[in-house]
């Protein structure tokens, strides 16, 4: 119904776990990105993550669907240790074309905002 109303980009926010998010985005072809939680799954691409956090998958996890489109899954992890950063480029039809990003460790190198003091 969203697509019928002209919505081209659909983002899902879930709390059902990483593996379930992968199942969902694989089956729901109009869903472009899922930001999920529940399983506290740490996702990271490349090097530079804290050594105590072993990535359980790529950030974002790219799910190739039967129609050859890509769906992206990222996870929230837990306790606000990381701030998720994901930049996605879509084509005119709302299809995922490119992406970049990784979680940002919220440690002393990130200044506190005035409202958080």
- Output the pTM of the full model: 0.91
Q: What is the pLDDT of residue 116?
A: 57
pLDDT at residue 85, as a whole number: 97
User: What is the distance between the alpha carbons of residues 10 and 3, in angstroms, rounded to a whole number?
Assistant: 9
26 forms beta bridges with none
Domains annotated on the chain, with CATH: 3-116 (3.60.21.10)
Q: How confident is the model at residue 1 (pLDDT cuts 50, 70, 90)?
A: confident
pLDDT in tens, 11-46: 999 999 999 999 999 999 999 999 999 999 999 999
pLDDT of residue 113 exceeding 90, the answer is: no
90 pairs with which residues across the strands?
Answer: 96
Pick the closest to residue 22 from 2, 41, 45, 49 (CA basis): 41
Q: Which helix (H) or strand (E) holds 30?
A: none
Q: Phi first, then psi: give them for residue 59, nearest 5 degrees.
A: -115, 115
């Amino acid at each position: 119904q969203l697509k019928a109303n002209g919505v081209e980009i659909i983002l899902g926010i879930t709390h059902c776990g990483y593996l379930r998010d992968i199942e969902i985005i694989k089956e729901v072809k109009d869903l472009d990105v899922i930001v999920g939680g529940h399983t506290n799954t740490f996702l990271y691409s490349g090097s530079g993550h804290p050594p105590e956090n072993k990535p359980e998958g790529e950030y974002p996890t790219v799910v190739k669907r039967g129609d050859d489109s890509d769906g992206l899954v990222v996870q929230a992890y837990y306790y606000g240790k990381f701030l998720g950063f994901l930049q996605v480029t879509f084509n005119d039809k709302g299809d995922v074309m490119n992406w970049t990003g990784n979680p940002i460790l919220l440690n002393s190198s990130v200044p506190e905002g005035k409202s958080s003091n």
